[in-house]
Structure 1
């Protein structure tokens, strides 16, 4: 894979973006009189202080916190949580992505380029032809299942995942095709339906298939989620669908927090390391699954909760298959077999 080598930082680009964003936000709250609206939704701003840090320091977007806060804590529609995830990440993840690019951090460029192209087609398709037909309860369950399985993967395999160094150098055409399929499928399904998730899918492929270093996989996942979030917002607005009622008000309160919080997560995690943050966020992912089942137990019934649990196990089985495929691709099994044969002959 082609990696972007560390070059001279151009943080002035990020500072310019930041100045432009805050100028627009101040115009909205001061010039157009939306200050009282922003102040009235301060709980979301508080919640997104955590969400924005997770967005910049982990492969889980800010919607990982925003979605369950709106849907589970505030008991608002799941469609609102989805649209808010798109909207808030279009600021927070974009800010983090610009910060990453300005710092010239290494990225898995071939896979990322394929994922961007795939998301360009997959996300609008999912928004038009899949998301409108997914019931509210299923949106909640899709989010809960995917995030729970992702959390369990890290609680189980974190030491292995964090131990990767560099990235396996496959053929760039193969890397591009991998990213392309991820962009199409994840953009049309999990991202279009929940507003988040394409970053996690790309990250999972990078760490399990390509044995990518977290310092490469996580920034790459941030960039694809930023692109998909902006695309999702533009598609909804330009197509006339619009965003769900309540998104703008919550966005207005949280946007100034995530604009600086997500890049701060990128910076801080480089100092304290990624493992502690990933452990905390993974635990939260499992916790929101339990919370969802508890909140929806009457609608789901025992059979529904069991099916949700089986869905998590199915995701984990899929992750394990990816991991084993990755071991074959990078020659881990061959190397181990040769080492055993050498030891037996010595």
Structure 2
């Protein structure tokens, strides 16, 4: 019988409790004073969807936008830009909530790679939002999203046993840590500015394939990076929409959907972070991986993708998986990334 997590005690989770109190107070004030109850109630489908999406965000290296994007864009036939902005907006609550829980309970996090990645995301995300995202055709936004997560799904189905077999919190420092982290932040920030997700997958893949990190370290690290990138991304988009609304306008449905889903994800993502420490990650990762591949096929059919667009999408999946396997073989055996002195990461009790 599974017991209640022993780390869920007041001395550890008080920052998380404070965060929830502040968030729900602000949300309730906005809804009441703004007269938004009809809006919240009429958008119940996205709230229901994000009850699943937020669990995925907290328990896997995938942001809530991984669920929200295909539902909004493919099921409801909304523009890719709306799916992206909603993904960033809702993750800024859900994954921030999960981040506060992770930090409050001292989950192991790989700060050597995460710290430079945060700096890279701080630069790459606004640059992508300004110079790249507005000029990517809507179809390509959908295809880029599909390619990224289909590749992620294939990776897990092929390597699931090895990825879930890495244990322990000890890792190896590398002279390349800073450069790799910056590169993840810059490239992942641009990718996330286009689709709303992606940077979390990049740091996760690097940790589990190149550094052979335990999933208990890789997943919290990816959650924190995606939370930060979401805040920077939606903040950049809001600022840009005020400066040049003709180019960077944000659909009003983003706010309406956010109002309905935000109170769900504020608890759903931390719940995922709790549950994943009580049960095996394998079933969740397999199901989500199959969904990632399924949404890619759905995108190709739904958008009637043919010709060069189809070739480009399939080539993208092949390219991403080639990169993943390259990381895997670099991290296997005697790699220059694994020759430095071992460094002990902080464990779940905060004892470094």
TM-score by length of 1: 0.90
Residue 76 of structure 2: aligned partner: 74
| Kept after mapping to 1: 8 A contact 2:174/2:338 | no
Residue 337 of structure 1: aligned partner: none
Structure with the higher fraction of residues in helix conformation: 1
Are positions 1:106 and 2:89 aligned together?
A: no
| Correspondence for 1:261 among 253, 260, 268 | 268
Are positions 1:310 and 2:315 aligned together?
A: yes
Pairing 1:28-43 to 2, within 5 Å after superposition? 28-43=30-45
CA shift, 1:305, in A, is 2.3
CA shift, 1:333, in A, is 12
Are positions 1:236 and 2:237 aligned together?
A: yes
CA shift, 1:166, in A, is 3.0
| Kept after mapping to 2: 8 A contact 1:167/1:211 | no
Are positions 1:90 and 2:92 aligned together?
A: yes
CA shift, 1:331, in A, is 8.1
Q: How many residues align?
A: 326
State the alpha-carbon separation in 2 of the partners of residues 256 and 211 from structure 1. Answer: 35
TM-score by length of 2: 0.88
**Helix, strand or coil at the partner of 1:169:** strand
Change in Cα spacing, 1:329 to 1:187, as seen in structure 2 (3 Å) is farther
Residue 301 of structure 1: aligned partner: 306
| Kept after mapping to 1: 8 A contact 2:50/2:264 | yes
State the alpha-carbon separation in 1 of the partners of residues 160 and 178 from structure 2. Answer: 26
**Helix, strand or coil at the partner of 1:272:** coil
**Deviation readout 1:42-62 (Å, 9 max, x if unpaired):** 100000011000000000000
Change in Cα spacing, 1:88 to 1:331, as seen in structure 2 (3 Å) is same
Q: Which runs of 5+ in 1 are unaligned?
A: 1-5, 335-346
Pairing 1:54-203 to 2, within 5 Å after superposition? 54-166=56-168, 169-171=171-173, 173-188=175-190, 190-203=191-204
State the alpha-carbon separation in 1 of the partners of residues 23 and 131 from structure 2. Answer: 32
| Kept after mapping to 2: 8 A contact 1:112/1:220 | yes
Change in Cα spacing, 1:76 to 1:231, as seen in structure 2 (3 Å) is same
Q: Which moved more, 1:300-309 or 1:196-205?
A: 300-309
| Kept after mapping to 1: 8 A contact 2:117/2:183 | yes
Change in Cα spacing, 1:77 to 1:11, as seen in structure 2 (3 Å) is same
**Helix, strand or coil at the partner of 1:327:** coil
Residue 340 of structure 1: aligned partner: none
CA shift, 1:185, in A, is 1.3
**Helix, strand or coil at the partner of 2:277:** helix
**Deviation readout 1:71-102 (Å, 9 max, x if unpaired):** 00000000000000000000000000000000
CA shift, 1:245, in A, is 2.7
State the alpha-carbon separation in 2 of the partners of residues 108 and 242 from structure 1. Answer: 36
Are positions 1:278 and 2:285 aligned together?
A: yes
CA shift, 1:218, in A, is 0.2
State the alpha-carbon separation in 2 of the partners of residues 331 and 135 from structure 1. Answer: 40
Q: Which moved more, 1:309-318 or 1:127-136?
A: 309-318
**Helix, strand or coil at the partner of 1:270:** coil
* CA-based RMSD: 2.0
